[in-house]
Amino acid sequence: MPLINWDEKFSVGVASVDHEHRELIGLVNRAHARLTQPDRETAVMEFLGEIFTRISAHFALEEKIMREKNYDHYAEHKADHERLLDSIRDIMDRYEDRKYFSDDEFAQVLKSWFVEHFRTHDARLHRNLG
Ligand SMILES: [Fe+2]
C-alpha cells in the first residue's frame, strides 16, 4: 500500500509544480516499498538519503522561481522547507545513532508536512504567481 496517495487537494494549479509534487510522492512510495525487503539496515539509510536529496532539489527549484519573481513570502516559505529538511536530518541522525526507524512515524512527518505545505505555502505561491 502506498505511503501517500496523490489527492487533488495537493494541486497548486501549476502543471510543473504539481508534476514535481506527484514525482516526489511517487518516489517516496517506491522507496518505501523497498523498505519491506529483508536488507532493511542498508535500505533505511539509502531511503532517507534519496528522499532528502530529491526533496532538496525540488525545494531549490521552487526557491529559484520565488527569487526570480521577487516573491514577498520567500523567507517564510523557505523557512518551512528548511523545517522539513531539518526533520529528515534528525531522523537520519537518530537512525545512525540508535538504528531506530519507524515507518509510521516517518509517514506521518511527511504526510502532515506535505498536506499543510501544499495547502498553504505552495497554494499561496501559485495564487501570487498566477
Ligand atoms: Fe514549497
- Burial label for 52, CB within 10 Å (0-12, 13-18, 19+), is middle
Rounded-to-integer distance, Cα 84 and Cα 73, Å:
17
- Whose grid coordinates read 534528525? 90
Output the pLDDT for position 49: 93
Summarised one tens digit per residue, pLDDT across range 26-77 is 988 988 887 777 777 788 888 899 999 989 998 998 999 999 999 999 999 9
CA of 80 relative to ligand 1 center, distance in Å: 8
On the CB side of 42, how many CA atoms lie within 13 Å of its CA? 3
Position 24 confidence tier, pLDDT thresholds 50, 70, 90? confident
Which residues, by Cβ under 5 Å, contact ligand 1, an ion? 62, 122
CA of 81 relative to ligand 1 center, distance in Å: 6
Summarised one tens digit per residue, pLDDT across range 83-101 is 999 999 999 999 999 888 8
CA of 92 relative to ligand 1 center, distance in Å: 22
Summarised one tens digit per residue, pLDDT across range 101-111 is 888 888 889 88
Alpha-carbon distance values, 57 to 18, 24, 103, 105 (Å): 15, 10, 23, 23
CA of 37 relative to ligand 1 center, distance in Å: 32
Position 130 confidence tier, pLDDT thresholds 50, 70, 90? low
Output the pLDDT for position 128: 85
CA of 7 relative to ligand 1 center, distance in Å: 17
